[in-house]
Amino acid sequence: MDISTAAQRLRENVGRVMVGKEESVNLAFVALLCEGHLLLEDVPGTGKTTLAKTLAKSLACSFRRIQFTPDLLPSDLTGLAIYNQKTQDFEFRPGPVLTQILLADEINRATPRTQSALLEAMQERQITVDGSAMRLPRPFFVMATQNPIELEGTFPLPEAQVDRFLMRLELGYPSAAQESALLKRFEQTAHEPLDALAPVLDNATLLELQRAAQTVRVEDSIREYIVSIARATRAHDAIELGVSPRGTLYLYHAAQAFAATQGRDFVLPDDVKYLAPFVLTHRLILSAQTRLRGRTTQALLHEIIESVPAPVEQP
């Protein structure tokens, strides 16, 4: 099975549960193909948890959900060793992070200490318990959620952790037609649509597709275009902190994976333009004066992309 066929099957399968989220599903699949992680920033009730559950079931992956709270401890994520009086030995009780798709709900409500435990899992794909490292299963995909409205009792994510997310998405509200279709769908069945969902991919196929995405061709001109956009963010007067080299690499791999979902074995400049807001915006920190003027990272990034000449095919 090629990547474009897999992406189409995944969109259709998720569409049995969710209405009007084809773009978000495709971008989540792109992040998964890159072995990256996803930050979902939106108000409650827009389908963030449902998206994570539906993806996990469609991909035949194990799924766990963690509700982040201020009293959540690192051991609540990783697990801990408990002394067994019968065997007179310590037994490891695995935590919820030992899964394939992890939903970190309201991640910014946990303390920095707990967030750092998740950071190790995201970046190193391992956890450390009692000084011993333990590898996480593959694929390992974190979908973290944030509520951008309610900030009371939250701990802002450190830049090092934000930079580990390949993309940031906003699901948004459905259109009137989509919301009406959603009501009709639940009206016609007494059962939860998610319960009847069948997988469309297995783990072995998914790992093969991840490897295949890395073989998509990227011309030198496209590579230089990506670097030029990243460097332009670092030189902009209104931006205090520009895109990191990790962000440049993520945009490169995301463009490869996205091109593959479109049935191509090569990357176009339009792929980079389309993905840049999802991959780069959350990595930018505006200067204080820029924020006071009410300018946004989205608007600034759009200006930068328009100012950097895109490569054109030579005649």
CATH says 3-206 is which class? Answer: alpha beta
Mean local confidence (pLDDT), 35-46: 85
pLDDT at residue 227 greater than cutoff 60: yes
Q: What mean pLDDT comes out for the span 60-79?
A: 89
Residues 47-57, mean pLDDT to the nearest whole number:
89
Under CATH, to which class is 214-307 assigned?
A: mainly alpha
- pTM metric for this prediction: 0.89
Predicted confidence band at 314 (pLDDT cuts at 50, 70, 90)? Answer: very low
- pLDDT at 114 exceeding the cut of 90: no
Residue 59 has pLDDT above 60, yes or no: yes
Residue 152 pLDDT grade (very low, low, confident, very high; cuts 50, 70, 90): low
- Residue 315's pLDDT band (cuts 50, 70, 90): very low
Residue boundaries of the structural domains of the chain: 3-206, 214-307
As a whole number, mean pLDDT of residues 69-95 equals: 83
Reduce the secondary structure of the chain to three states and give it as a string. Answer: CCHHHHHHHHHHHHCCCCCCCHHHHHHHHHHHHCCCCEEEECCCCCCHHHHHHHHHHHCCCCEEEEECCCCCCHHHHHEEEEEECCCCEEEEEECCCCCCEEEEECHHHCCHHHHHHHHHHHHHCEEEECCEEEECCCCCEEEEEECCCCCCCCCCCCHHHHCCCCEEECCCCCCHHHHHHHHHHHHCCCCCHHHHCCCCCCHHHHHHHHHHHCCCECCHHHHHHHHHHHHHHHHCCCEEECCCHHHHHHHHHHHHHHHHHCCCCECCHHHHHHHHHHHHHHHCEECHHHHHCCCCHHHHHHHHHHHCCCCCCCC
pLDDT over 70 percentage in the chain: 95
| 3-206 shares its CATH topology with 214-307 | no
